[in-house]
Each structure stands twice: as C-alpha cells, then as structure tokens.
Amino acid sequence: MTRRDVMLRLFLYAALTAVTFLVCFPLIWAFFTSMKPKDEIFLWPPTLWPSTWTLENYRALLVGRDAYFQAGGSSGGTPPPSAFFLDWFWNSVIVTVCTTLITTIVSTLAAYSLTRFSFPGQRAVPYLALVGYMVPSIIFVFPMFLVMVDLRLTDTLLSLIMGYVCITLPFSMWLMWAFFRGVPVEIEEAALVDGASRLRVFWEIVLPTAWPGIVAAAIFTLIVSWNDYLFGRVFMNSMEKLPLTVGVMHFFDGTHVDWGLMMASSVLMTLPMAILFMLFQRHLVAGFGAGAVKG
C-alpha cells in the first residue's frame, strides 16, 4: 500500500465516522439527556456527558403509576400522563404482534396462491396491492374511522389492528409475491407428482424456502405498526387505551415540557425496534431489495 492509499483510507474512514456520528447523534443525545437529573438538562452551555447519572426519568415512566396511587393520588384529579406509560407500551405490543401475525399469514397465503394458481381477476391483484401500497394512511384514516363507527369498534385495540392490517397488507403482499416468483416450482411439482398433497407441499417445501421473505415481511409490518401515530390519534380516546406513539405526545400538553421524561420514553420506544434491527438486519436489507418498504 502506498502512502497515498493510506491517506485515502484514513480520509474515507474519517468521512464515514463523521457521517455516522451525525446520523446517530440525535439518539445518542436523547440517551444522555434521559440519564441526567432535571436541573442538569437545562444547563447552558449544554454538556453531553451527565455529571450525575440518574434513572429517575425511567423510574417515573416504569413505576410512576404505582408511586402515584400509593401517594393517594387516586382520590381526586387525573394522574399525570406518565402514569399510563406501561399501559401504552403493552397496547402497542399487543396491537403490533396481532397485526404482524394477521398480515403475514394472509399475505403469505395470498401471494403463494397468486404465483401458483390461476383464477379470474388474478392479474388485477398485484395492481390492487400496488395502489394500496402507494395510498398514504391520511387518505384511509377518516373513511376507516367511519367504518369503525359503523362496526361500533372505535376506541378499541381491535380497530387499531384492523387499521394497521389495512396499511401493511399491500406491501407485505408485494414482498411475498416477489419472493414466491423467485422460488422455482420444479421441486413442488415433483413432490405433487409423487403424490404429496398441496397442503403438505406448502407446509414442508414452500414455507421453509420462503422463510427469509416471510421474516422480512413480518419485520416491516412490525416497524410500521409500532411507529404509526395517525390511526391511534384518530381512532382512540381513552387515555389507558392509547398506543405508545400517541400517548407520549401527551407529555407536551402541560405548560412546561419535561425533556428528561420525553427522552427516556424515546429511548424505551426505540429499544424494541433497535433489538429487532440488530437481530434481523440481513433480512431487512433483502426486503428493501425486493421493494417491500413503506415510508
């Protein structure tokens, strides 16, 4: 390696590190802010590294509710929004998991059917998925809300699940469709000729082959339903039934903003996605390649 190559390499690493730092900075800053006591958060000039480390912000979110009720807060007035944090968290978990299960199963079955069988109207389905994929949730949300009113489902977690299935199904379908088109039919045909039933072929040959695609579709569905704000905002009323994203915005409603609390909830809200991301990064990239993203 010549001297010039070494310099070039150093320069490239420096550039990459700088970009990566800029990209990660908002979250790094959120993390350190969440670990600071209140008076230190408002220090000017601001410091990155907390001089005193504290978990008080996390404690307020995770056990704040018990503390509030033990202090006799139930006797009057409404509890502070932070008392609902755990409720919101579980609501989001339930809704996200249910949505992902439904969307992934429905789209896997449909995409398989679409690539292996022929039936009238078959050609229209990918176009339907494409349009559904393009339509933003703001267009769906009000008519969906009316549908929920008709079904008497407003302010229930079920309505959220249905809303998220509706926005995630098209792209999940799209991704699974791309995957199944790439899986050769010869092995399946051979097994069918040898007398295996279609269901058995699906279960024992198709599913294992399509597994990476299914995982990618499931993760994208998870991300979209965990991150959504709009449906929760329009469909839900009761404080204890909100999803995390809508609930956390209630921290802004008071006269002063508790940034420590806010940053702690940011960290807790990002954590599950970050873990998923680290575990399944390769699948995600594969999914991007097949065009299965909504954003």
Interface positions, 35-54, toward other proteins (CB under 8 A): 42, 44-46
Our CB check for other proteins shows the closer of 70 and 122 to be 122
How many other CB atoms sit within 10 Å of the CB of residue 173? Answer: 26
Our CB check for other proteins shows the closer of 73 and 259 to be 259
Q: How far is the CB of 228 from other proteins (least distance, A)?
A: 8
Q: Which of 6, 7, 9, 38 binds other proteins (CB under 8 A)?
A: 9
> Rule CB under 8 A: is residue 227 a binding residue for other proteins?
yes
> Rule CB under 8 A: is residue 128 a binding residue for other proteins?
yes
Q: CB of 115 within 8 A of CB of 123?
A: no
Q: Which of residues 141-160 bind other proteins (CB under 8 A)?
A: 142-147, 149
Q: What's the burial of 125, exposed, middle or buried (CB within 10 Å: 0-12/13-18/19+)?
A: middle
Q: How far is the CB of 223 from other proteins (least distance, A)?
A: 5
> Rule CB under 8 A: is residue 82 a binding residue for other proteins?
no
Q: How far is the CB of 75 from other proteins (least distance, A)?
A: 32
> Rule CB under 8 A: is residue 288 a binding residue for other proteins?
yes
Q: Which of residues 229-268 bind other proteins (CB under 8 A)?
A: 229-230, 233-234, 244-245, 248-249, 259, 262-263, 265-266
Find the helix packing angle between 85-116 and 207-227, rounded to 10°. Answer: 140
Our CB check for other proteins shows the closer of 83 and 129 to be 129
Q: How far is the CB of 277 from other proteins (least distance, A)?
A: 5
Query: Omega before 79 cis (within 30°)?
Result: no
Q: Which of residues 167-196 bind other proteins (CB under 8 A)?
A: 169-170, 173, 181, 185, 189, 192-194
Over the Cα atoms of the chain, what is R_g? 24
Q: Which of residues 197-216 bind other proteins (CB under 8 A)?
A: 198-199
Q: Which of residues 105-124 bind other proteins (CB under 8 A)?
A: 105-107, 109-110, 112-114, 116-119, 123
Q: How far is the CB of 267 from other proteins (least distance, A)?
A: 8
